[in-house]
Amino acid sequence: MLVYGTLSSPVFLTTGNFVNVFTSMAIVGIVVVGMTFVLVVGGLADLSVPATIACGAILSLALQPAIGPVPAFLVAVALAGGCGLISGLLVGYIGINPIIATLGVGTIVLGIVESLVGGVIVYGTDPATAELVKSRVFGIPVVVLIFAAIACVGHFILSHTYLGRWTFATGGNYSAAEASAVPVRAIKAGAFVMTGLCAGLSGGLLGLTLQSARPLIGTGYEFSAITAVVVGGVSIMGGAGSIPRAIAALIFVQFLTNIMVLQGVRTPVQGFVLGLLIAVAVALDVALRRRSVA
Amino acid sequence: MEFLIFLQKYRVGIVLGLTLAISAVWVPGFVSLTTFSLGFDRGSTVGLVAIGLTVLLIAGKIDLSVGSVFALSGIVAIMLQPALGLWPAAVVGVLAGAACGAFNGLLSVVFKVNSLVATLATMLIFRSIAHWLTDSQPMAGTDIMFSVRLAQIYFDLFTLRSALFLFSILLLHIWLSRTVSGRNLFAVGSNPVAAEASGISADRIAFLGFVFASAMAGVAGVLQSLAANTGSPVFGSEMTVAVIAAVVVGGTRIEGGRGSALGTLGGVLTIAALTTAMEFQSVPAYVQRVVAGLILILLVLFDRTVPTNRRTNSAVTAAE
Amino acid sequence: MAFKKTMFGAGTAALMLTAGWAQAQTVCYVTAADAHAYVTPANEAIDGRAAELGLEILSLSQNFDVQTGIEQMSTCIARGVDGIILWPLDPQAYIPGLARAQAADIPTILINSPMNEEADQFIVSFTGPDVYEEGEMAADSLNDAMGGAGSIVIIAGQAGNGTTIGRVGGFVDRLAEIGSGIEVLDTVNADFDQQKALVASRDLITRFGDEITGVYANDDTMARGFIDAWLEAKPDTPMPPIVGINGQKDAFESIRSGEMYSTIVQSPIEDGLLAINTMAEILAGNEVEARLPIPLTVVTSENVDMVEPAF
């Protein structure tokens, strides 16, 4: 695909374009890291992402005048993690279906955050923070570096620690994991906390970049994240997957969109191609897995 | 305990009753025939889609694409009006909805893609077809006066749409509780392997479930487009969540195997009554969302934590 | 069900008896959204002015969803309000609701966005900016800036939205009408959203690069998105002339700093005030014009210090 991109568009293979694609990707990429945990642990999907992103963005701007930019940012991310904790408790300990739990918690959280600020748009008061987020180190935008750091940490946890092994065990075979003394409930809840934190972080970054935040700021990110994770071969039934694969898929999807835009493909068609891509990728995955079992 | 089980069994009815009672006391002008008929009419759009989703959820599948199908069917029905005339175009619109369902069924049943992912994909696909067909512009129908007639209230109680909704709920109730195929649906939803073993084709039922869900979304979409005399690619973008909430508040389990027509009726009416009452009081939209979300979570929480003496098929689901 | 109907029936009878109460007149305001750079100040203007006039406002937010708005029209009618102010998000879809309101003798006016001609018979007045004219004014302004030739990109609002259709349509029609040599390279929808405009602009800049010699954004928020993308990609190349609409504060600053060429001031406060004042006239039994526009001003670096930003 990269070859096609290079051949078909002279600007495709330029540093500028690559930086472009990665910057656009960073915000959703951070969410993808968290979402991978949720899918691997067998938690289907976290639909509260738009709410937790909005929570991160709105609070990190709204609290700035009162407690300063850095504490505001930390409080916003922590509260987003708190939302994840509530979803996690409902799913892990009480056994409510994740779709319903995250949908409900998301609705409530977004409503509360909106009432806190009176249901209007929040503007930033400290332009220096925007400069910081938009600045570059060695020509690489800071958000991309943050994303890379989060991805590395996430990958390390999932692939090289007990926590990660337990996550796979819980998602792969819940009762077997429980029998071998894996704290399945806590692990399941933890995945949602992780997504909450990630989404809060990416919301905070988004808010600082734009210097304004509205309640609908996170709309659509949940589906973009799920798309990347699923196309990356992470089974929605849990127990399999890895963060590098999810991110590779995200990069693939981003470049695909990028090439379509460079080719002047209209927006509706892009949705069509993306939908088809998800369906085909997953159907292939299922077919291949069935064959290898047989 | 007895009391809790009673509460549990009739929780939808109780919540609906409470909502109506509280609204009647606190909200001036709430108790009137006009409020009732218009509230009912507003619920029926979501309600028609909810009927289809109830069936699909009982069969253990989910459909996120209903909002897109809603828009697409409406567009087809409006687009073909000049060529076919109003009624044939409407029929084709519903058929287009059913065809979307067949595509969902194909992905989910034949290619074994998880229904959540499959319909996430088709949600994007159908929505982009809707944008494609209309060039992203809302499209006007041929007969605005028909729309005005469709919005008329008969006998001070029903619009055409709310009557159709009520009638469909009744049919669904009879089907689910009195027929063999209805019982098979529950069997497939609670344990597809066991159902297959006892000679029920789980795949066929799931496939038909998808077709039915999308056809109902099509009916609702076509009616909406006729009522608004507009086919718009942005219609129904907020719908899927509202419908799932209504069905789940009505006691249908998203894991399959449990649910009822009257529950869905209760869920739809509860949400419609709640929204209308809060709008009467000019409660901000974000506070409305908090209330709706709390009711959803509390009802599901209650469902999980209070032990039931229901049919065994719910026990099977719980173990899953 | 049967029981419930009786209950409602009995309730109605009771209500009929109490309906004679003299109360403050209530106006139902079906607004586009709660939180939006333009809509929020308009909402506040209406609430504030209504309090002065002694009118009670029943404020309902559609959150940019037409379906929600259609249902909220029903609520207004059921509530039996004295007047309705509707912010339409679709040129057609509210017509049955408007017809119902008319049947219930509730006067309705439209605020901000127009609807199709078929709606005219059901409404008393339409107050607000002429979005088509805004498009035309933007075309003239950009044509001046570019000396009548060059190639541009259009960053449009939400697809299918009345404001988008008017602002793009007026612009394109006007270019053709004056025989301008300006060519439109591409039109993208960025939903009046800064982030979406930023992402779309990055791609446009990569794709067309220096071919872009002018930009038309359907509002200032999206113009900001393009400016950020340009500064990111080509910090050393001078910015092509950008024309926005709405007249936001930060657009004024961009015009002063030379990042933007012009914007068109359309004040949300004027927009809201005109609507509620018109409704008050109607409720007082006075005749009003069927079309009441709010003033529009093109702002460039020449008059930027003489005009007040809209919000």
Strand, helix or coil for residue A208: helix
Spatial distance between the Cα atoms of C304 and C141, rounded to a whole number of angstroms: 14
Strands (E), B25-131: none
Touching subunits of B (3+ CB pairs, under 8 Å) are A, C
DSSP C241: P
pLDDT score of A151: 93
Long-range contacts of C161-165 (CB under 8 A, 24+ apart): C161/C89, C161/C90, C161/C113, C162/C88, C162/C89, C162/C90, C162/C91, C162/C113, C162/C114, C162/C115, C162/C131, C163/C112, C163/C113, C163/C131, C163/C218, C164/C189, C164/C218, C165/B137, C165/C91
Least confident range from A52-56, A213-217, A287-291, C131-135: namely: A287-291
Residues B13-19, mean pLDDT to the nearest whole number: 81
Residue B316 scores a pLDDT above 60: no
The answer to whether residues C161 and C130 touch, using CB atoms and an 8 Å cutoff, is: no
Which tens digit of pLDDT belongs to each residue from C131-188?
889 999 999 999 999 998 999 999 998 877 778 888 999 999 999 999 889 999 999 8
| Amino acid A10: pLDDT | 60
Say yes or no: C194 contacts chain A, CB-CB below 8 A.
Answer: yes
Residues of chain B positioned with their CB less than 8 A from the CB of A287: 111-112
Q: Is residue C164 a contact partner of residue C218, using CB atoms and an 8 Å limit?
A: yes
Yes or no, beta carbons of A107 and B292 under 8 Å apart: yes
Residue C7 has pLDDT above 50, yes or no: no
Report the residue of B124, B287, B298 to disrupt the A interface, i.e. the one with the largest count of A CBs within 10 Å. Answer: B124
Cα–Cα distance measured from residue C27 to residue C55, given in angstroms and rounded to the nearest whole number: 7
Report the domain count for chain A: 1
C65 with B42: Cβ contact below 8 A: no
Does the pLDDT at position A5 exceed 70? no
Listed residue (C247, C136, B253, C295) closest to A100, CA to CA: B253
| Residue of B42, B237, B282 with shortest CB distance to C65 | B237
Q: Do B137 and C159 touch (CB under 8 A)?
A: yes
- Token pair recorded at residue B232: 């718009």
Is the confidence at residue B34, as pLDDT, over 50?
A: yes
Instruction: Quickly state the pLDDT bin for A13 (edges 50, 70, 90).
Output: low
**Residue C122 neighbours by CB distance under 10 Å:** 20
Residues of chain A whose beta carbon is less than 8 angstroms from a beta carbon of chain C are 9, 11, 14, 16-17, 20, 23-24, 114, 119-121, 134, 206, 209-210, 212, 214-217, 258, 261-262, 264, 267
Handedness of CA A63, A69, A75, A77 (dihedral sign): positive
User: What pLDDT sits at residue A131?
Assistant: 78
How sure is the predictor about B227, in pLDDT bands with cuts at 50, 70 and 90? confident
| Same domain flag for C48 and C106 | yes
Residues of C in contact with A15 (CB under 8 A): none
Average pLDDT over residues B251-257: 84
Count interface pairs A-C at CB distance under 8 A: 56
B23 in Cβ contact with B279 (< 8 Å): no
Nearest CA in chain B to A99: B254
Write out the two tokens for B89. 């175009």
pLDDT per residue as tens digits for the range B195-225: 888 888 888 999 999 999 999 999 999 998 9
8 Å CB contact between A76 and A59: yes
A75 vs A39, A213, B73, C306, CA distance in Å?
A: 26, 16, 46, 42
Mean pLDDT within B38-51: 87
Range of the domain at C181: 131-265
Highest mean pLDDT among A138-142, B48-52, B156-160: B48-52
Nearest chain A Cα to C188, which residue?
A267
Tell me the C-alpha distance between C68 and A133, whole Å: 37
Asked if C70 is an interface residue toward chain B (Cβ–Cβ < 8 A), one would say yes
Do the strands C125-128 and C291-293 form a parallel or antiparallel pair, or are they unpaired? parallel
- The reported pLDDT for the residue numbered A129 is 79
Q: Does residue C60 belong to any structural domain of this protein?
A: yes
Question: How many other C-beta atoms are found inside a 10 Å radius of the C-beta of residue B275?
Answer: 23
Question: What's the whole-number mean pLDDT along residues A207-221?
Answer: 84
Residues of C in contact with A17 (CB under 8 A): 206
Q: Which chain A residue has its CA at the smallest distance from B122's CA? A: A275
B62 touches chain A (CB under 8 A): yes
What was the pLDDT predicted at B32? 74
First to last CA, chain B: 25
- Closest CA of chain B from C159, distance in Å: 5
Residues C182 and C210 in one domain: yes
The winner for highest mean pLDDT among A219-228, B92-101, B264-273, C263-272 is B92-101
Chains that touch A (3 or more CB pairs under 8 A): B, C
Q: Is residue A111 part of a domain?
A: yes
Over 80: is that where the pLDDT of B309 sits? no
Which residues in chain B have their CB less than 8 angstroms from residue A282's CB?
113-114, 117-118, 121
Contacts of A202 (CB under 8 A, 6+ apart): A26, A27, A28, A30, A31, A53, A56, A221
pLDDT at C22: 44
Q: How many CB atoms lie within 10 A of CB C234?
A: 14
CA distance B60 to chain A (A): 12
Restricting to C residues 206-235, those with a Cβ less than 8 Å away from any Cβ of B are none
Q: Which two tokens stand for residue B295?
A: 């009711």
Which residues of A fall within a CB distance of 8 Å from C68?
none
Q: What is the mean pLDDT of residues B125-137?
A: 87
Tokens of A132: 């910081």
**pLDDT over 80 (residue B183):** yes
Among C82, C151, C162, C96, which residue's Cα sits nearest to residue C126? C162
Residue appearing with tokens 């407690």: A67
B121 forms beta bridges with none
**Which residues are CB-contacts of B262 (< 8 A; sequence separation ≥ 6)?**
B169, B173
Answer for the pair B221, B70: CB distance below 8 angstroms, yes or no: yes
Based on the domain organization, do C260 and C272 belong to the same domain? no
Q: Give me the count of residues in chain A.
A: 294
Residues of chain B contacting C11 with CB distance shorter than 8 Å: 24, 31-32
Q: Which residues 141-160 of C are in CB contact (within 8 Å) with A?
A: 159
Q: Is A189 exposed, middle or buried (0-12, 13-18, 19+ CB in 10 A)?
A: buried
How far apart CA B242 and CA B67 sit, in angstroms, is 10
Q: Other C-beta atoms within 10 Å of C167: how many?
A: 29
Beta carbons within 10 angstroms of residue A193's beta carbon: 23
Examine the domain organization and report whether C236 and C286 are in the same domain: no
pLDDT at B103: 95
Encoding tokens for residue C288? 């009003």
Handedness of CA B18, B19, B25, B31 (dihedral sign): negative
According to the model, what pLDDT value does residue C309 have? Answer: 81
pLDDT digits (tens, 9 = 90+) for A235-258: 777 778 889 888 888 888 888 877
The size of chain C, in residues, is 311
Range of the domain at A86: 2-6+25-287
More confident: A9 or A158 = A158
CATH number at residue C151: 3.40.50.2300
Taking 70 as the threshold, does the pLDDT of residue B318 lie above it? no
Report pLDDT for C169: 92
Q: Do residues C177 and C285 both lie within one domain?
A: no
Which residues have a Cβ under 8 Å from the Cβ of B134 and sit 6 or more positions away?
A: B75, B79, B231, B232, B233, C160
Report the residue of B25, B131, B148 to disrupt the C interface, i.e. the one with the largest count of C CBs within 10 Å: B148
pLDDT of residue B116: 86
Query: In Å, what is the CA distance from A275 to each residue of A268, B103, B122, C196?
Result: 11, 13, 6, 20
In this structure, the answer to whether residues C233 and C217 fall within a common structural domain is yes
> Can you tell me the distance from the alpha carbon of A54 to that of C1, in angstroms, rounded to the nearest whole number?
41
| Interface with chain C: mutation pick from A15, A120, A256, A263, highest number of C CBs within 10 Å | A120
When CB atoms are compared, the residue of B34, B151, B286 closest to C96 is B151
State whether C34 and A9 contact (CB < 8 Å).
Answer: no
Is residue B91 a contact partner of residue B73, using CB atoms and an 8 Å limit?
no
Instruction: Give how far A283 is from chain B: nearest CA, Å.
Output: 6
Beta partners for residue A122, in sequence order: A213
Domain membership flag for residue A229: yes
Q: Which residues of chain B are within 8 Å of residue C30 when distances are taken between CB atoms?
A: none
pLDDT digits over A59-75, tens only?
999 988 888 888 999 99
CB B204 within 8 A of CB B50: no
Q: Bigger pLDDT: C1 or B75? A: B75
Q: pLDDT of C192-232, one tens digit each?
A: 888 889 888 988 888 888 899 999 999 999 999 999 889 88
- Residue A216, exposed/middle/buried by CB under 10 A (0-12, 13-18, 19+)? middle
Residue A146's Cβ-side half-sphere holds a number of Cα atoms within 13 Å equal to: 23
Pairing mode, strands C26-31 and C56-61? parallel
pLDDT over threshold 90, residue B72: yes
Residue C228 is given by DSSP the state: H
The pLDDT of residue A3: 61
Question: Which stretch of A33-37, B71-75, B135-139 has the lowest confidence by average pLDDT?
Answer: B135-139
My answer on whether C234 and C272 are in the same domain is no
B122 vs A290: CB contact, 8 Å cut-off? no
Chains in contact with C, where contact requires at least 3 CB pairs less than 8 Å apart: A, B
ipTM greater than 0.90:
no
pLDDT category, C19, cuts 50, 70, 90?
very low
* Chain B contact set for C90 (CB, 8 A): 138, 228, 230, 232
Rounded Cα distance between A86 and A46, Å, is 12
Q: What is the mean pLDDT of residues C85-108?
A: 89
Give the residue among A47, A209, A56, A72 at the shortest CA–CA distance from A141: A209
**C contacts of A218 (beta carbons < 8 Å):** none
| Best CA proximity match to A267, nearest among B128, B125, C168 | B128
Radius of gyration of the CA atoms of chain A, in A: 19
pLDDT confidence bin for A9, thresholds 50/70/90 = low
* Burial (CB count within 10 angstroms: exposed 0-12, middle 13-18, buried 19+), residue A139: exposed
Of B29, B147, B234, the CB nearest to C160: B234
Confidence band, pLDDT 50/70/90 cuts, at residue C11: very low
Domains in chain C, number: 2
Fold of B13-304: ABC transporter involved in vitamin B12 uptake, BtuC (1.10.3470)
Of all residues in chain B, what percent carry a pLDDT higher than 70? 92
What is the spatial distance between Cα B201 and Cα B205, in angstroms, rounded to a whole number?
6
Structure tokens of B303?
């469902």
Q: How far is C118 from chain B (nearest CA, A)?
A: 8
Pairwise CA distance, residues A196 & A199, whole Å: 5
Taking CB atoms and an 8 Å limit, are B157 and C34 in contact across chains? no
Enumerate the H helices of chain C as residue ranges.
2-18, 39-53, 66-79, 95-103, 131-146, 162-177, 194-208, 220-233, 249-257, 268-283
Residue A26: is its pLDDT beyond 80?
Answer: yes
Residue in chain C nearest B158 by alpha carbon = C5
- Rounded to the nearest integer, the mean pLDDT of chain A is 85
